[in-house]
Amino acid sequence: MLDVDLKDLPPDLRWREWMGRIEAVLFASAAPVPRADLARVVGAEASVDLLIADIQADLLGRPYELAKVAEGWMMRTRPRFAEAIRVAADIGPQHLDLATFDVTVLAAIAYHQPLTRAGLKDILGKEISRDLLARLRALDLITTGPRSPQAGAPYTYVTTQAFLAVFGMESLRDLPDREELQDAGLTD
């Protein structure tokens, strides 16, 4: 069993140990880690939010950071170091290669979820292929949601935690305001 209270340590060392545990969990995870999961590795008197703030302060000026993404926390390289990583690792571009229409479909789903293919057609004015939806599912950007209460109970689509992580959002509340998008002419 993991000793989370660490009562045998003085308070300053206990705090440092808790910071180390949270940092280690985040470092080892490829996906955002929810706050509740982080709370399981520290004592009841520890504030995960304050521990995160202290880790973030320690990481200032470092090439990586802790970011709140998809209703959890994750460690990620700061964007300004992306090119250095690509060159050193010879990995080439690491983007999703999404077409403008793919992003439009994702935006429609994000703003109107859960959404059926027919609902997408109503919003976007054209039929959405099953292949496109399958590709977006394969990229883990969308998944099937609850069945629609319409006749035939068609599948609905919703965005995923990976969608939030890819677009750097904590939650769907971080989506741009629709009126601002309209004012900017980005909704046509």
pLDDT, residue 93, reads 56
- Predicted TM-score of the model (pTM): 0.60
| pLDDT tens across the length of the chain (188 residues) | 899 999 999 999 999 999 999 999 999 998 889 999 999 999 888 999 999 999 999 999 999 999 898 889 999 888 888 788 877 876 655 567 788 889 889 999 999 999 999 999 999 999 999 899 998 999 889 999 998 888 888 989 999 988 888 888 888 888 888 777 677 665 65
In this structure, which amino acid lies at residue 10?
P
Cβ neighbours around 169 below 10 Å, total: 18
Let me know how long the chain is.
188
- All structural domains of the chain with their residue ranges: 11-89, 100-183
Looking up tokens 């069945």 gives 147
Cβ neighbours around 176 below 10 Å, total: 11
pLDDT, residue 184, reads 66
pLDDT, residue 164, reads 87
CATH of domain 11-89: 1.10.10.10
User: Would you tell me which CATH number, out of the four given (1.10.10.10, 1.10.357.10, 1.20.1440.230, 3.40.30.10), belongs to the domain 100-183?
Assistant: 1.10.10.10
Measured distance CA(80)–CA(63) in Å, rounded: 8
Q: How many CA atoms lie within 13 A of 139 on its CB side?
A: 19
pLDDT, residue 87, reads 78
149 Cβ contact list (under 8 Å, min separation 6): none
Q: Do domains 11-89 and 100-183 have the same CATH topology?
A: yes
Measured distance CA(107)–CA(120) in Å, rounded: 10
